[in-house]
Amino acid sequence: MSCDFEGHVVLCGWNARGPHLLSQLLSSGQRVAVVADPLPEGLPEGVFFVKGNPSKQEPLIEAGLKKAKSAIILGGAEDAQAILTGLAVESIAPEVYSVMELHDPANERYARYAHVDDVLYADSLIADITGICTHYEGLSSFIKDILSTADDGHSFASFDVPEEFAGRTVGQLFEHYQSQGLLPVGLTVPPEEAPELPVAQWQSYVDPPLEESITLPMKVVCIKKN
């Protein structure tokens, strides 16, 4: 039986972070299909499960990848399996936004060859957070709050800058979002030397000068209430 979801998230593979990820996605109202072998323990109802190797085409198609909005490729002990899965996902549905979890930054080029949209380094991110929490006592509650979208706290969000702001200043743009109860903190823009790069490779500008002029395309990053 094939998955009849549309605009859903396909979770390719399973590891210790799977249950947390699933609860995050479900709490933000996303529908999820999981491709893994064996069946993960305690999979919630409403999640479509396909038993199989996520680097093979059939289980991915069965999970409705062609109609999915995005795919998350969870890594195992080695990055090779995740990269193979990324290749399979991108070959079946290149328009699906794919996020891959890697361990070794040296493997990023393979993920990029496979046209995976976004790559996250789990170990490096955790080390970053641990370093900050050790340096600034008490900061962990704040970081946990704004990184989680599943609780009733706050989280980061990014929005496309509306066309009417082209040529206006960053200060005016930030005032617009502040009036909506959001806290704008930065921008992401395509690199000047390669404007055609996918959005996951755009450059981030944290706390940009307010008098700077806006050139589209651009995304504004805000902190918003969940």
Partner 1 sequence: MANRFTKTVKNAKRGLSFSKKFKHRLLGSLILFLVLLAVCTLAVWWQERNFQGSWLDALWSVLFTLIGQGEFASAPRTFVGRIIVFLLSIFGVALFGVVFAEVMQRLINSRLKEMLGMSICKFDGHIMICGWNERGPHLIRQLTASGRQIAVIAEDRPKDLHGDVFFVQGSPSDREALIKGGIMKARAAILLWDPNLGDDDSRTILTGLAVESMRPEVYTVMELHNPENEHYARYAQVDDILYTDSLIADITAMCTHYEGISSFIRDILSTSDDGHSFASFDVPSNFAGRTMRELFEHYRAQGVLPIGVIVPPEGGTEEAPAAEWRSRVNPSRDETVALPMKAVCIVKNNG
Q: Contacts with partner 1 in 160-199 (CB under 8 A)?
A: 183, 185-186, 188, 198-199
List the structure tokens of 9. 């998230």
Q: Which stretch binds partner 1 (CB under 8 A): 45-53, 83-91, 161-169, 216-224?
A: 216-224
Cβ atoms < 10 Å from Cβ of 23: 12
Q: Does 113 bind partner 1 (CB under 8 A)?
A: no
Nearer to partner 1, 58 or 160 (CB): 160
Question: Can you tell me which of 2, 172, 180, 204 binds partner 1, judged by CB under 8 A?
Answer: 204
Residues 136-165 touching partner 1, rule: CB under 8 A, are 136-150, 153-158
- C-alpha span between 177 and 181 (Å, rounded): 7
Between helices 140-147 and 122-135, what is the axis angle to 10°?
A: 140
Nearer to partner 1, 84 or 147 (CB): 147
Query: Count residues contacting partner 1 (CB under 8 A)?
Result: 74
Nearer to partner 1, 50 or 221 (CB): 221
Q: Does 126 bind partner 1 (CB under 8 A)?
A: yes
Question: Can you tell me which of 43, 61, 133, 216 binds partner 1, judged by CB under 8 A?
Answer: 133
Q: Does 39 bind partner 1 (CB under 8 A)?
A: no
- C-alpha span between 110 and 65 (Å, rounded): 21
CA contacts within 13 A on the Cβ side of 54: 32
Which residue, 117, 109, 37, is CA-closest to 76? 37
Pairing of strands 154-160, 183-189: unpaired
Question: Can you tell me which of 24, 53, 55, 107 binds partner 1, judged by CB under 8 A?
Answer: 24
Q: Do the Cβ atoms of 33 and 14 come closer than 8 Å?
A: no
Residues 43-72 touching partner 1, rule: CB under 8 A, are 70, 72
Q: Do the Cβ atoms of 73 and 99 come closer than 8 Å?
A: yes
Question: Can you tell me which of 6, 94, 109, 134 binds partner 1, judged by CB under 8 A?
Answer: 134
